[in-house]
Structure formats: structure tokens, C-alpha cells
Structure 1
Amino acid sequence: MRIRIVDAFTDRPFAGNPAGVLLLDDVFPDDDWLQHVAAEVNHAETAFAHRLPEGGEADWALRWFTPVTEVAQCGHATLATAHVLHTTGAETGPVRFATLSGVLTATPAEDGSITLDFPTAPLTPVEIPDRVAEALGAEPAAVFDTGPNIGDLLVELADERTVLGLAPDHRALGAHSSRGVIATARADEPSLGYDFVSRCFFPNVGIDEDQVTGSAHTALAPHWSARLGRDELTGLQASRRSGLVRTRLRGERTLLTGRAVTVIEGELLA
């Protein structure tokens, strides 16, 4: 069985967010095997997909596993899977994935980018939780619940410098949401090519800090579109690898656009 490592939300190797991708012959194997493979790959997510019969609402079934658990939504591993399908010739146009978050579509463009169609996260303002500032290492300006699909707290901070300088207590952050915390601020210099900056900490699913998180941008897009008065934005997720996510808000759906690069291809023997 072929296994690939794909860097997503980047146009160059060794940047963006790496994901494992396995295209399966038929149905999903048992969950223990899927989890063991994801733990062996040991990236933030490993995606498993198999083709579905023609005539249905989706073309492929898709699941995502971190090294420790299955998750309900993942942007970068969906982008990575779509990239593999298109670069191997398995698909040539839009691809519909049946997932725990419903049917998600990935549409390739002539410039090599891929646009994902995801549900927009519902944002609900909440009181600043006790001790979240201490756990994060910065005082929030506003805090929002992002709903059950991604299960994060979105925390707006004072400025980009504050986001970049965070050194949180990951264990303490885990007490404040089901997945983790999205920290964000408006870009200091939009002329640099991005409108807002973020960092994402997901200790409850085994990822202390994610490199570039597509699903988080389904919450970041409506938040910053409301703040900045524009439906089309670009977010920089700052990390040791970093990556750009172009967002377009369409009501209950959010479009996420990025590129991907295959960096490793091999044979899974287990």
C-alpha cells in the first residue's frame, strides 16, 4: 500500500503542515489499525480515503487521525488528500469527500491551488474563562466558542507580536475546550500579504502546537471578516513551518484555498 507525506498550505517542501495520506483499496480497516498507522506516521494528521460507488453524494470516504485519536474535521489533511488524488491522476476535477463533518468538496485550479468547501464554524462570545490568560501567557481581548465540529476556544489577542511571542502551558490549556485554543490577532502589516495571524494549540488531541490548521480558519474567517469588513482574506498561521490560508466567507460555508507538495512516497508494509 502506498503512503505519502504531503506538506499542505505551502508551495515548497518542509513548510506548511505535513500529513500522511493513504488511499485504500476498499473499505476502512479496523480503527485500531488506522490509529496505529497514524501513531507511526506521527504527524498532526494522517488521512485515510477510499473510493465510493458512483452515483452517490460523495466520491471518496475520508477519515482523519492524529497520533492519539480520530478527529471530526481537518483541513490540511483534506488538502493533502486532494493533492494526491490530482497529482496521481485518480481524479481530475472537483472531489467530494464523505466525512464526519458532512460532504466536503476540494476543487483544483489551473494555478495548482486547491479550494476546500467547509462548514463555517458558529462563533459564540463567551466570558473569558478563569485562568485561560495564565495558561496562554497573554490577556485575551475577546473569547469565542467555535461550536462542536472543531471544538476550540478562539482567543483574540492585542496584536501580532503577542501571538508570535506566546509560550503557553499546554496542559493547562487543555482544560478550556474539547480540542484546544486558537490564538489570533490582526496583522501588524497587511502589506506583507496577510490580514490576520494565528497560532493553534490542541493538547487534547495530542498536538501541542499545530503547524497550519485549515479547520481553525473556518472560525478565523468569520471572525476577521466581521472585524475587517471583507469576505476574502488571507491568514498566516505562524509556527516553526508556517503557512498561508486564503479564506472566502460564504455564509454557512467557508472556502479555504492553499497549495500542497508531496515530499515522501513509499510502501506501507504492516
Structure 2
Amino acid sequence: MSELRLRTVDAFTDQAFAGNPAGVVVLTGLPTAKWMAALAGELNLAETAFVIAEELPDADYRLRWFTPAVEVDMCGHATLAAAHCLFEDGAASPVRFATRSGVLTVWALPDGSLAMDFPANAAVEIPLSEELAGRVEAALGARPVWLGRGGTDDLLVELADARTVRELAPDLAAVARFEVRGIIVTAAADADGHDFVSRFFGPRVGVPEDPVTGSAHTVLGPYWAAKLGRSELVGLQVSARSGVVGVSLRGDRVQLTGRAVSMLDARLAPAAMPASLPGASTLPRAST
């Protein structure tokens, strides 16, 4: 049986042990969803990306994302990590991924960063009744200034200031009772070089707090572009690991820009291999 390569990559950062770690597995055959879910659960990272090389009419690879609990429709940081691995292996830029969110294209830029084309997911405002504001405050520990629902099936909550966002200690059990993928909290940035700050909580999908959430920036970008009157923005996700996401609004699309750092390059043990995979990836190991 061919060996199967497993990598982890820190996304939306240029430093090791920062940004958002993602697992990446490149395959030349299609395993079962049960096996992909089991491997993602074993890794216990926010997301694991499975890149499947197959003949497609408008894409180079199929891409699927799994949290430790569920398969998701969109994931920015694991897409960045997957493209980073392919470019390290010598793939030509751009690469096109067929996903649940349509075809997503990633380019390698001259400065070493990667740019990803995603659909924009502007949030629709939800009237803040006293009852709803109180429920959100009870879950987050801070009073909402604005509330909306984005196309990623997340709640977007603007808070009073960046310090409040940084110091949040939410009740994750209460957050999980909201029937959404997760809650994005945000405020205007309080430091030069960034336009807004954010955090993301998704206990309902097995991610208590996501360190840096690319998909959330498809909601944050349109929101802050409208508030600030600019289409080019920089977001800082202020989790404990932290990460930076460049955001550029382009009609009904959002270009997300970031960097990535390879962290681990390993082989799955025979016991972990899928039972009936037509063929494992034969891509060479990156030199170390």
C-alpha cells in the first residue's frame, strides 16, 4: 500500500506556533467521508483539508473540510493551508478547488503571501430587541451594538470596542444554543495597521474558539467596507494565537490574503490508512 502524507500548516501568519493550524492530506483517490471525519477527529484541529486530485471540468482538485465534529461548507484557513502545500510541492499558480462553496481559486503572490477568491457573505441586520440583546449579552458577556446573520450561517456581533473583544470570556454552552454555525464578534481596531478586530466561537460545530477564521472574513469584509467606506481592509483576529487577514472587496467576491508556515510533515501509519482508497498521494516530500 502506498504511503499517505499528512501535514500541518499554521495559516494567516508568518510565524510558527501562531495563526490557525490546519491538517492537510493530498489524495489521488476518494476515501469515504467516514474515514475523513475520523482522521479530522483524531487530529482535533479546527479543520483538516482533504485535497483530492481528480478530473474536473472547471477545477484542478476537489477540496473538503472537516472539523473534529462535522464537515463544513467553507473554510478559509484550511484552503490557504492546502494551497500552501500544493505550491510547496511545485504546483503552478493559481490552483482551483471544487468545493461545497463553488470553485475557489488561490494565487501565489510575489511577496510570498497567498490570495484566495471567495464569495462575499454580507450579513443581514437582525433587529436588536431587548430580549435578544440580553440573550447575546448573557452568552458573550458583553452588550451587542449591532447584530446580523451572514451567508456563512454565523451571527455577526459588533461590540463597543476592541478591548471588549479581546477580553471576552463567553459562556460556550450558551453560545452553542444559538442555531448557527458560530458567532463572529468584532469591533473597530485600536492599533495602526489594522481596520477591525474579531474573534470566532463555534462550539456547535466542535470548535470552541477558532484562532483565525478566513470564512468569517467573507462576512466581516462587506460589513466593515460599508462602515469605513473602503474596499481594501486588514483584519486582526485577536485570539490567543492571533492572525492577520487582508480583505479586498470585489463585487460579490472577497479576496482574502495571508501567509502560511509549514509545521509538520509525516506519514500515516498503516493502521490509519483508509480501507479501500484507490491510490494514495505519491507527491514527493518537501525538502527539509
**C-alpha distance in 2, partners of 1:134/1:127?**
17
Q: Give per-residue Cα distances to partners, 1:71-106, cap 9 Å, x unaligned.
A: 0000000000000000111x1210110000000010
Structure 2 unaligned regions, length at least 5: 273-288
Please say which of residues 169-178 and 214-223 is displaced more in the overlay: 169-178
Give the deviation of 1:117 after TM superposition: 0.3
TM-score by length of 2: 0.90
Q: Give per-residue Cα distances to partners, 1:127-176, cap 9 Å, x unaligned.
A: 232511111100000001102xx210000001001101100001111222
Aligned equivalent of 1:100: 100
Pick one of 13, 16, 21 that aligns with 1:18.
21
Aligned equivalent of 2:82: 81
- Paired residue type of 1:139: R
Alignment of structure 1 residues 13-162 onto 2, 5 Å: 13-27=16-30, 29-53=31-55, 56-89=57-90, 91-128=91-128, 129=132, 130-147=134-151, 150-162=152-164
- State whether residues 183 and 199 of structure 1, in contact with CA within 8 Å, keep that contact through their aligned partners in structure 2: yes
SS at match of 1:164: helix
Alignment of structure 1 residues 89-238 onto 2, 5 Å: 89=90, 91-128=91-128, 129=132, 130-147=134-151, 150-189=152-191, 191=192, 193-238=193-238
1:6 and 2:9 are equivalent in the alignment: yes
SS at match of 2:45: coil
**C-alpha distance in 1, partners of 2:248/2:169?**
30
Q: Give per-residue Cα distances to partners, 1:48-88, cap 9 Å, x unaligned.
A: 0111226x111100000001110000000000000000011
Give the deviation of 1:26 after TM superposition: 1.8
**C-alpha distance in 2, partners of 1:132/1:215?**
21
**C-alpha distance in 2, partners of 1:222/1:176?**
23
Q: Give per-residue Cα distances to partners, 1:12-40, cap 9 Å, x unaligned.
A: 1100000000001222x111110110011
Give the deviation of 1:110 after TM superposition: 1.4
**How many pairs were matched up?**
263
- Paired residue type of 1:68: A
- State whether residues 122 and 223 of structure 2, in contact with CA within 8 Å, keep that contact through their aligned partners in structure 1: no
- Say which one has the larger Rg: 2
Structure 1 unaligned regions, length at least 5: none
Runs in 1 of length 4+ with deviation above 6 angstroms? none
Tell me the C-alpha RMSD between the 2 structures: 0.9
**C-alpha distance in 1, partners of 2:179/2:82?**
28
- State whether residues 97 and 103 of structure 2, in contact with CA within 8 Å, keep that contact through their aligned partners in structure 1: yes
